[in-house]
Amino acid sequence: MDCLFCAIIDGDIPSRQVYADDTAVAFLDINPLHRGHTLVVPRLHVSDVLADPETLSLIAPAIQRTGRLLVERLGADGMNLLVNSGAVAGQEVFHLHVHLIPRYADNPGMRGLLQRSPAADLDEVQRQIVGS
Ligand code: 5GP
Ligand code: ZN
């Protein structure tokens, strides 16, 4: 099976990982909407959130822990969680993933969600989150 996120989970394609546990891996989105934009993906391949009744709840602890990490380390003021299901909804990678999009007081509200922020230095953002 040819799946980008399975390849990232297996380490065959590099990513900037910020959290991992038995159920999920979290890494920075390569094209962030806001500073610290992170994807939480289940280790098991599931194509999308509607394909399986268990997977989203299985990775809920990883989502919460990653979210706390982003808020605490990046000083975010809030966060959007986003799951796209199906191409018409904007899903481009067909391995279930939850977008964790930290939000900051200088650009608030839903209307600011999809306005791309200035290109972030992803290596610096990763260092700030994982503390190395
Ligand atoms: P979707 O549109 O499927 O909900 O989200 C896919 C996300 O994966 C996009 O936000 C896109 O920027 C991100 N993405 C695509 N290719 C890569 C990659 O090779 N590495 C990382 N870290 N993110 C990727
Ligand atoms: Zn996959």
- The predicted model scores a pTM of 0.97
Mean pLDDT (whole number) for 74-79? 96
The stretch 8-27 carries a mean pLDDT of: 98
Closest C-alpha to ligand 1, atom 8: 29
Q: Does residue 15 or residue 1 have the better pLDDT?
A: 15
Scan for tokens 């509200």, then name that residue. Answer: 109
What average pLDDT is seen over the chain? Answer: 95
Q: Could you tell me if the CB of 87 is within 6 A of ligand 1? A: no
In this structure, are residues 39 and 47 in contact, taking their beta carbons and an 8 Å threshold?
A: no
97 carries an active-site annotation: yes
Instruction: Give 132's pLDDT tier (boundaries 50, 70, 90).
Output: low
**What is the band of 76 on the pLDDT scale with cuts at 50, 70, 90?**
very high
Query: What residue's CA is closest to ligand 1, atom 20?
Result: 30
CA distances from 78 to 45, 48, 65, 123 (A): 29, 25, 14, 22
Domain boundaries, the chain: 4-115
Say yes or no to pLDDT of 112 above 80.
yes
Phi-psi category of residue 90: left, alpha or beta, with phi > 0 → left and psi -120 to 50 → alpha? left
For ligand 1, atom 21, the nearest C-alpha belongs to 30
Q: Which of 34, 95, 97, 99 is catalytic?
A: 97
The model's pLDDT over 83-106, given as tens digits with 9 standing for 90+, comes to 999 999 999 999 999 999 999 999
Q: Which CATH number fits domain 4-115: 3.40.309.10, 1.10.390.10, 3.40.718.10, 3.30.428.10?
A: 3.30.428.10
Tokens, residue 73: 């380390």
pLDDT at residue 117 above 80?
no
The Cβ of residue 109 has, within 10 Å, a number of other Cβ atoms equal to 7
What does the DSSP assignment read for 62-119? Answer: HHHHHHHHHHHHH--SEEEEE---SGGGT--S-S--EEEEEE-TTS-SGGGTTSPPSP
For residue 90 and ligand 1, the question of a CB distance below 6 A is answered with yes
Q: What is the mean pLDDT of residues 99-122?
A: 89
